[in-house]
């Protein structure tokens, strides 16, 4: 069977997960300042709550775990069949992630400075000091115990955990190529057992790294089981993972439920890429903007909140309007498309070409 070049439906699923996070973060519009979360109204008071309550609540926040699993699936697809030097691997990750991260970091840093000077408080996230700015510059904002919490452009926290996991993946590639199923299963289990038992506290490294790594290597395992090998294989994996999710739900094991649902979703998407590839191609734009929409939506919210502080005496009444959510959603998507086309993609290509040429 001819291998799939790009899993468009799987990529589109990552884009859908990013859009779920955009809706989940709607609650930021109710924040009077970075530390006023206790004063937010209940979710059922949000606009469209009857329709979107699951996306406003903790369910949508678990889309981050889906990101991690998809990352493992895609990395296994890209790197298991071919060799890559450590330099080329690192350059590819840096060029892909850093330009937009740096741009949004500088934008948010300037905006937070204006907010603190003009209205006396931070917007959405605190901890906007030199320590956390340095951690953000190094994309290590939340995997290290030097961090005191979310800061600047907060959503980058999940990407910072992945940075450590990328290194773990590259170091395991040599042996993973000799037995991807067994090695991926072992690494996934080992990471989650470490989270459950925490036998020793590792210096500087937060436990969240191993939570992320567990989902990442579960994605590698799923790829090794070949959900794209046909409808029967995808259906079997979907049924098995759905059963695992149900068992986890009944037994009260939340992580098992989340992992089971995530595996089922990716199995369905990978199967669709095999049996109906044209669907995925039509949805490719969703995959293209998954990272950019994830990084730009909170800076846009911060901008709106600062304008509300300066022009409307800090009122948050606009958050109750039924127009706010669609406007915020559309502006986030349009901005993400622009950022991907005119910043993320060209800057990444230029950085990759320059660094690979220097390395050569």
Question: How does pLDDT run across 114-129, given as a tens digit for each residue?
Answer: 999 999 999 999 999 9
The region, left, alpha or beta by phi > 0 then psi within -120 to 50, assigned to residue 115 is alpha
Q: Following DSSP, what letter does each residue of 329-355 receive, concatenated?
A: HHHHHHHHHHHIIIIIHHHHHHHHHHH
State residue 245's pLDDT score: 86
Q: Which pLDDT band holds residue 2 (cuts at 50, 70, 90)?
A: low
State residue 334's pLDDT score: 97
Per the CB < 8 A criterion, the answer to whether 321 and 48 are in contact is no
Closest CA to 185 of 204, 199, 200, 172: 172
Q: Which pLDDT band holds residue 78 (cuts at 50, 70, 90)?
A: very high
Q: How far apart are CA 3 and CA 82, in angstroms?
A: 13
Q: What is the pLDDT of residues 228-267, one digit of tens each?
A: 877 888 888 888 888 988 888 777 788 888 989 999 999 9
Per the CB < 8 A criterion, the answer to whether 111 and 134 are in contact is no
pLDDT at 333 over 90: yes
State residue 278's pLDDT score: 79
Q: How far apart are CA 360 and CA 357, in angstroms?
A: 5
State residue 224's pLDDT score: 94
Q: What is the pLDDT of residues 200-216, one digit of tens each?
A: 777 788 899 999 999 99
- pLDDT mean across residues, the chain: 91
Q: What percent of the chain has pLDDT over 90?
A: 66
The dihedral built from the CA positions of residue 8, 208, 38 and 147, taken in this order, carries a sign that is negative
Q: How far apart are CA 239 and CA 320, in angstroms?
A: 41
The dihedral built from the CA positions of residue 132, 138, 140 and 146, taken in this order, carries a sign that is negative
* Long-range contact set of residues 91-95: C-beta below 8 Å, sequence gap at least 24: 91/351, 91/352, 91/355, 91/356, 91/359, 92/352, 93/163, 93/166, 94/351, 94/355, 95/347, 95/348, 95/349, 95/351, 95/352, 95/355
Residue 311: HSE in the Cβ half-sphere, 13 Å Cα cutoff: 8
Q: How far apart are CA 112 and CA 123, in angstroms?
A: 7
State residue 310's pLDDT score: 92
Per the CB < 8 A criterion, the answer to whether 258 and 112 are in contact is no
Other C-beta atoms within 10 Å of 195: how many? 17
Exposed e or buried b per residue across 317-330, where buried means at least 16 C-beta atoms within 10 angstroms of its C-beta = eebeeeebbeebbe
DSSP code for 87: H
């Amino acid at each position: 069977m001819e291998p799939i070049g790009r899993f468009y439906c799987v990529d589109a699923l990552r884009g859908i997960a990013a859009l779920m996070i955009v809706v989940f973060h709607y609650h930021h519009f109710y924040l009077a300042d970075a530390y006023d979360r206790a004063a937010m109204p209940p979710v059922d008071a949000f606009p469209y709550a009857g329709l979107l309550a699951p996306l406003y609540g903790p369910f949508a926040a678990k889309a981050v775990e889906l990101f991690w699993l998809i990352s493992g699936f895609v990395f296994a697809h890209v790197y298991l069949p071919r060799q890559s030097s450590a330099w080329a691997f690192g350059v590819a990750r840096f060029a892909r992630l850093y330009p937009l991260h740096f741009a949004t970091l500088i934008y948010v840093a300037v905006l937070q400075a204006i907010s603190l000077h003009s209205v006396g408080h931070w917007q959405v996230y605190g901890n906007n000091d030199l320590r956390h700015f340095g951690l953000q510059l190094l994309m290590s904002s939340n995997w290290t115990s030097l961090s005191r919490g979310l800061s600047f452009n907060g959503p980058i926290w999940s990407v910072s955990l992945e940075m450590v996991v990328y290194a773990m993946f590259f170091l395991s590639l040599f042996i993973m190529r000799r037995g991807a199923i067994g090695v991926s299963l072992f690494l996934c289990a080992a990471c989650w057992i470490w989270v459950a038992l925490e036998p020793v506290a590792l210096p500087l490294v937060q436990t969240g790294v191993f939570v992320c790594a567990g989902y990442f290597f579960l994605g590698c395992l799923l790829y090794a089981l070949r959900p794209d090998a046909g409808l029967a294989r995808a259906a079997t994996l979907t049924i098995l993972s759905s059963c695992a999710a149900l068992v986890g739900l009944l037994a009260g094991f939340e992580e098992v439920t989340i992992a089971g649902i995530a595996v089922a979703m990716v199995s369905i998407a990978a199967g669709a890429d095999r049996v109906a590839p044209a669907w995925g191609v039509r949805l490719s734009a969703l995959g293209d903007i998954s990272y950019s929409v994830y990084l730009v939506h909170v800076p846009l919210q911060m901008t709106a909140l600062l304008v509300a502080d300066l022009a409307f005496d800090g009122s948050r009444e606009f958050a109750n309007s039924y127009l706010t959510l669609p406007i915020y959603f559309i502006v986030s998507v349009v901005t993400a498309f622009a950022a991907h086309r005119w910043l993320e993609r060209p800057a990444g290509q230029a950085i990759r070409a320059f660094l690979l040429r220097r390395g050569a």
